[in-house]
Structure 1
């Protein structure tokens, strides 16, 4: 079954910036690609590559003596991240999600979970999907189950749902529901740095456990901790519909802090 986001990904008739080309070929991140280009380790059609140049169909790109090409398959994975795993592409980090996953094709995360948080993490080789899901101005939902250190009150629920002053902004109104004496559910549409932990701390609570259970239409259901799976065609088609009107460009209604922390640690 085909869908628009998959078809857009595999259509590569348009030129693409060299750093993006190297990223999609699984060589490294765009930032690392820029460093390779600057140091003269990348060539295009036998000539030293320059920063910002674009690659056209049919051109030969090499890193050192190795010819590289972009991936033809769009990959989106659902991962159940355990505590202790760090959302980073830093190769020196022994507990990085990339090392932990050890996936044969280069993929990166869509929205971070901090080291002490666990649960659903989406990973992909499609940068456009990452941008569309994570732009706060698109108002896409992410759902969490949170356990705190003392009893949850009605006052706490009201304040969390109305918005809490953290960093240099007030968080957006959100859906909050009590699940137990010390546990609640929260649905966010933004991604400030360590947002849930900061919100709770501002109200005198400490987060003891944070589990992400849903990103948009993708849920954690049935996925064991430490395991991953590819999204189904049905999930990809539903995601396609949800992202149809979403922008992958910066801007919109997010605050300055939201734009700074768009990666979305919780």
Structure 2
């Protein structure tokens, strides 16, 4: 019988180790797989394996770097207005790290990153399934930014950014772009290459002087002040769940 079939009555419900780690609110399943590969996960004192299955309701002890992980935790969904200077990498030794802005022991993390020199909307959660869905390139969830550059915008710049270009890491996807002023534009992307907007702009002879993320899907920064967190509204939560259960783009 396939291990993916429904369990028989009175049999324990088990999940793969990476799924258990995601349920504990540590990270996404993809990131959990990396932790297993790095031999940072133990199960009852022995190194964990990818094929290992865990009963979340049992007394099994799963540890990350020696720290005991609990089973499924209550989901957390926050919006955060990240200012310039905060690093999204969760590094305890770095005083600029986002981890020092998060409540202790919350096991939350940003779903996607903003560069240290960028600002704006971050979604903070402990939902590994949502993280995997929002970060997977097949789902093409859009993110919108207001961008200021150091020179007046040109028709060539606007058309090239919209159509997609290759700045050395493959052709970027076509995107929506609207000019806001002489040197400012709004751009909506459905992919998230590292420092993509800055590198696209630099390839076309422009330097980004300010980058503000305003939207993640239908979630909007609005008037949320810098450094501040807030929980999602009921409507935003429903929109987020729609993203969580959406189908891949065709």
- Could you tell me how far 1:68 is from its partner in structure 2? 4.1
Q: Please give the secondary structure, in 1, of the residue aligned with 2:116.
A: coil
C-alpha separation in 1, matches of 2:101 and 2:145: 23
Q: What is the alpha-carbon distance in structure 2 between the residues aligned to residue 50 and residue 240 of structure 1?
A: 31
Alpha-carbon contact 1:149-1:206 (below 8 Å) kept: yes
**Deviations, residues 48-83 of structure 1 (Å, cap 9, x unaligned):** 454232211432133499764224311111110111
Note the C-alpha offset of 1:112: 0.9
Give the structure 1 partner of residue 39 of structure 2.
Answer: 35
Identify unmatched segments of 5+ residues in structure 2: 1-11
2:3 aligned residue: none
Partner of 1:87: 88
User: Which runs of no fewer than 5 residues in structure 1 stay unpaired?
Assistant: 1-12, 254-266
Structure 1 window deviating more from structure 2 (228-237 vs 55-64): it is 55-64
- Shift in alpha-carbon separation, 1:236–1:86, aligned structure 2, 3 A: same
- Report the count of equivalent residues: 231
Matching of residues 222-241 of structure 1 within 5 Å: 222-241=223-242
In the aligned structure 2, how far is the partner of 1:58 from the partner of 1:242?
28
Q: Do the aligned residues in 2 keep the contact of 1:15 with 1:54 (CA within 8 Å)?
A: yes
Equivalence map 1:93-132=2 (5 Å): 93-102=94-103, 104-132=105-133
Matched, 1:55 2:54: yes
Please state how far the C-alpha of 1:133 moved relative to its aligned partner. Answer: 1.4
**Could you say what the CA RMSD is over the residues aligned between the two structures, in angstroms?**
2.5
Q: Please say if residues 87 and 115 of structure 1, whose CA atoms lie closer than 8 Å, have aligned partners that are also in contact.
A: yes
Report deviation, 1:236: 1.5
Distance 1:118 1:84, change over 3 A: same
Structure 1 residues 143-182: aligned runs within 5 Å? 143-182=144-183
The Cα shift of 1:229 comes to: 1.1
Relative to 1, partners in 2 of residues 1:108 and 1:99: Cα closer, same or farther, differing over 3 Å?
same
Report which stretch shifted further, 146-155 or 209-218. 146-155
